[in-house]
């Protein structure tokens, strides 16, 4: 297998944006191409990560994007895996380069939904659940993760204040990220007083609905060296899957796909969780970050809350989690998120993260999943 | 193979259709067409009386489209007495109404999807 490198990245702001889905994608791709010091003609394959292109009247995105980048002859596809689309698109790009099918692959994650309004977006997103058993009986994504939170708090010693600490931390990090959707310092009190969405989760326990696009250029090591661009290496890639429903799991306080994907990625990279300097994990809701850092192997089950209470996962802590602000503060354009995590890693490992720079970062991990973790991918990156 | 309509008709009678594997006796919901334990496609339909206990739940305050009129309402993951889990809409308004491990029963299927009620 070839070594695979990230040679350039780009991202729009995440937020309630006016640009169309295609404009957002082109903007991110343009920045990635320029950072990578290539021209579009170097791109051989295009992987678009998107879930609800229908909401902006555009599916079959790859040809529309490549045409508007001036490379209509480049083949591609759209990957849809709910909120995990981005990392799973990255994995497909990784596999193509590792196997030697292509030397240079463009991966663009994009989402444009805020214009549909909260009720419609909530409903659309509920289609990412197993609709017959979940969305169809009135549960939303906040509701699914609220059920997970209730079970977690029942099983382990955790309370709503602990969940709130995750939101506070991620908002602090987001204040240092000029592209973050929600840039607002909040307190634990603010979280606890925010309106209930699905008990026990409140508004500030939940990531926002966001628009945005992020793009990366993947290349073989050989191409990376010749390009003259600064690059980082992907040293581990893992996939996992869990039962589509919460009901299908023996224990709803853990996400099996995360554990499987992480084990594969660590095994391939020949490192352990303790070797990771920082991680971007899937904090669609505050409870998710706590469950994620346990499932990834950073902390024992039930101990994730202690890590948060003790400040271990803060930007200035031993293991910064979500230095970008995470889905909570940076935002969650669902097709873009998994790719956006790689943009953060690239900037951090190359020392370009400004005020939120993680010191001495050499090895980083990204973790991103779809729905309640039915699909998941984990990647590990190394500074070269 | 149990059709979706047959599954729903049974729910409407307060029954949950299950499959028992002819080969290894594993029990699963009758929407899973191969035995999840041994892979056999030879499954026999059995009926659950839909009784069970709440494993976890939430109360929705921000509903999806079509559920505005019921808000707030509950949604629960239920462990049927047969050992299989299912999920359902449940008409409760406050957390205190449904402690974990409360007894519930599947009572039907309508525009609210799969519906359960507290089983006293």
State how far residue A108 is from chain B, nearest Cα, in angstroms.
29
Specify whether the CB–CB gap between A308 and A160 falls below 8 A. no
Q: What ipTM does this complex have? A: 0.98
Give the SS3 label for residue A67.
helix
Q: What's the CA gap between A113 and A213, in Å, rounded? A: 12
Domain boundaries, chain B: 4-48, 51-118
Q: How confident is the model at residue A157 (pLDDT cuts 50, 70, 90)?
A: confident
Q: Which listed residue (A171, A181, A282, A332) is catalytic?
A: A332
Active site residue A83: yes
CATH number, span B51-118: 2.40.50.840
Contacts of B57 in chain A (CB under 8 A): 147, 150
Q: Can you give the pLDDT at residue B120? A: 83
Identify which of B56, B62, B114 has the shortest CB distance to residue A140: B62
Query: What's the CATH class of domain A4-115+209-227?
Result: alpha beta
Inter-chain touch A150–B100, beta carbons under 8 Å? yes
Identify which of A151, A198, A248 has the shortest CB distance to residue B60: A198
Phi/psi of residue A156, nearest 5 degrees: -115, 170
Inter-chain touch B77–A247, beta carbons under 8 Å? yes
pLDDT digits (tens, 9 = 90+) for A220-265: 999 999 999 999 999 999 999 999 999 999 999 999 999 999 999 9
Q: Is the model's pTM score more than 0.90? A: yes
DSSP A235-276: EEEEEEE--SSSTTSS-TTS-HHHHHHHHHHHHHHT--GGG-
State how far residue A287 is from chain B, nearest Cα, in angstroms.
14
CA distances from A261 to A239, A266, B74 (A): 4, 9, 33
Domain boundaries, chain A: 4-115+209-227
Picking from A364, A361, A353, the residue whose alpha carbon sits closest to that of residue A178 is A353
Contacts of A242 in chain B (CB under 8 A): none
Give the SS3 label for residue A201.
strand
Tokens of A307: 């890590």
Active site residue A128: no
Specify whether the CB–CB gap between A308 and A162 falls below 8 A. yes
pLDDT digits (tens, 9 = 90+) for A30-62: 999 999 999 999 999 999 999 999 999 999 999
Q: Is the pLDDT of residue B61 over 90?
A: yes
Identify which of B70, B87, B88 has the shortest CB distance to residue A246: B87
Q: Is the pLDDT of residue A143 over 90?
A: yes
Burial class (CB in 10 A: 0-12, 13-18, 19+), A1: exposed
């Amino acid at each position: 297998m070839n070594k695979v490198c990230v040679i350039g990245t780009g991202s729009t702001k995440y937020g309630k944006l006016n640009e169309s889905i295609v404009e957002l994608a082109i903007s991110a791709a343009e920045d990635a191409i320029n950072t990578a010091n290539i021209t579009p003609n170097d791109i051989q394959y295009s992987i678009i990560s998107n879930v609800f292109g229908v909401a902006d009247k555009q599916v079959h995105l790859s040809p529309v994007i490549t045409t508007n980048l001036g490379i209509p002859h480049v083949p591609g596809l759209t990957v849809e895996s709910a909120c995990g689309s981005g990392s799973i698109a990255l994995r497909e790009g990784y596999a193509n380069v590792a196997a030697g099918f292509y030397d240079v692959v463009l991966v663009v994650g994009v989402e444009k939904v805020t214009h549909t309004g909260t009720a419609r977006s909530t409903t659309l997103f509920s289609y990412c659940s197993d609709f017959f058993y979940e969305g169809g009986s009135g549960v939303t994504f906040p509701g699914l993760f609220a059920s997970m939170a209730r079970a977690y708090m029942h099983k382990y010693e955790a309370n709503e204040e602990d969940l709130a600490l995750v939101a506070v931390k991620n908002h602090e990090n987001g204040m240092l990220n000029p592209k973050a959707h929600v840039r607002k310092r909040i307190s634990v009190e603010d979280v606890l007083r925010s309106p209930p969405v699905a008990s026990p989760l409140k508004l500030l326990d939940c990531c926002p609905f966001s628009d945005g696009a992020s793009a990366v250029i993947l290349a073989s090591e050989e191409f990376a060296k010749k390009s003259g661009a600064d690059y980082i290496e992907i040293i581990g890639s893992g996939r996992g899957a869990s039962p589509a429903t919460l009901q299908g799991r023996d224990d709803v306080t853990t996400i099996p796909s995360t554990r499987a994907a992480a084990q594969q990625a660590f095994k391939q990279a020949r490192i352990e969780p303790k070797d990771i300097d920082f991680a971007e994990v899937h904090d669609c809701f505050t409870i998710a970050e706590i469950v994620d850092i346990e499932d990834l192997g950073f902390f024992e089950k039930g101990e994730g809350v202690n890590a948060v209470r003790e400040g271990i996962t803060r930007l200035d802590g031993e293991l910064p989690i979500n230095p970008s602000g995470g889905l909570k503060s940076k935002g969650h354009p669902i097709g873009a998120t998994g790719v956006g995590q790689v943009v953060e890693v690239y900037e951090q490992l190359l020392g370009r993260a400004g005020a939120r720079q993680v010191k001495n970062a050499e090895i980083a991990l990204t973790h991103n999943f779809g729905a309640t973790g039915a699909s998941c991918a984990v990647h590990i990156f190394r500074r070269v | 193979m149990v059709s979706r309509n047959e599954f729903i008709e049974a729910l409407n009678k307060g029954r949950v259709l299950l499959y028992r594997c002819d080969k290894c006796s594993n029990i699963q919901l009758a929407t899973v067409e191969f035995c999840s334990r041994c892979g056999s496609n030879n499954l026999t339909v059995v009926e659950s009386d839909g009784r069970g206990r709440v494993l976890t739940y939430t109360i929705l305050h921000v509903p999806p489209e079509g559920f505005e009129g019921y808000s707030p309402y509950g949604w629960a993951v239920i462990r049927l007495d047969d050992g299989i889990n299912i999920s359902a809409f449940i008409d409760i308004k406050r957390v205190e109404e449904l402690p974990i491990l409360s007894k519930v029963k599947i009572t039907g299927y309508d525009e609210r999807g799969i519906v359960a009620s507290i089983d006293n």
